Structure 1
Amino acid sequence: MTKQEIREKVLDMRRSLTSKYIEDESAKIYEHLMDSGLFDGAKQVLSYSDFDNEVKTAMLTGWLMFHGIRLCLPCVYQKEMFAADIKSAVLELSRFGIAQPKYEKASFAAPEELDIVIVPGIAFDRGGRRIGFGCGYYDRFLKRATKAKKIALAYDFQIVDFIPEETHDIPVDIIITPDGRIR
């Protein structure tokens, strides 16, 4: 299958999820994530605002803020993605309908200073390859986030046998699913 065929198939599945499924599976993923020890020593984390039935990140957001870890959200501005401190600006909806800090008011973390990047995606394979929406924002950003652990949160059905890789693709290091950890 092509990337586009995988994207369409998995998105159709994700869009048909019930709110109970999303809440239950997101809670399992969060539990595995918290048990992983991956946040030990982390000082700056880029997460994402979930939308369109993605794995929920609210529990993680609360945990990070409670523990005093600097939390950033992606902020897309003029075709580039930045890591905007969540406390630095009010949230607005991006052109994609995703909550992000208002660019003009935000303070930013340099990609190379981040300890962890929580990477969204539509589909992943066991090699860490991912399919997003095809805009390349994350791949360009991850190329610069050289020391960060790249962690994906995914429902089990989002794990596919194989994703074709392109030269600009940046894989994730770890995938957390309701069944545990991959890689």
Structure 2
Amino acid sequence: DTLVNVNALGDPVPSARFMGGREFSVLTKDQPEQWTEDDVGAVLARKTLLLPSTQQGSGPFPHHAAAWLNADGINKGQRFAAISFYLALMTATCLDLIGADGPTTVEGPFARNRLFVGMLAAATARAVVASEAATGTSIGAALLACDRPATHGKGERIERPIDPAWVDYVSAWRAAVEVQG
């Protein structure tokens, strides 16, 4: 869903929500984060897609029922990659709904998921800052009191949109979601 929150200064802040962390937890329950570049290549080549929504009633597609496409015989690494891609594409959809622009900062466990960060960069065509800071909330609060623009701190990395196979995957997912509609 989308809404407008208010920041500490009383300014409106467009917001979008979906239960990405919960979806990730449910979808990867008892599955280690193990994958290979071959797994990623297979998912991209086959267009193994997870379509929304695994948690119905939430997110940008609350009335869609989840479905897998081109997923017969995938291994655990491929499944993990497809799940990471799904959550990145859902996040990109939320960002699009609120008119986001500029670099996107990802904090918490998803910041350590290279597949999520890479697909988010591909889907938004913008840089993604994967923060390794454990204190994002307090840093954000401190930045509100500062009159200088934020800079990227030590330990953060910027991931830029990558190879065309990733962008092709984004297009395939979006087309499949539209058909699912």
Give yes or no for TM over 0.5. no
State the TM-score, normalized to the length of structure 1.
0.28
Task: Tell which structure's C-alpha radius of gyration is larger.
Answer: 2
Structure with more contact order per residue of length (Cα contacts < 8 Å, sep ≥ 6): 1
Of Structure 1 and Structure 2, the greater helix share is in: 2
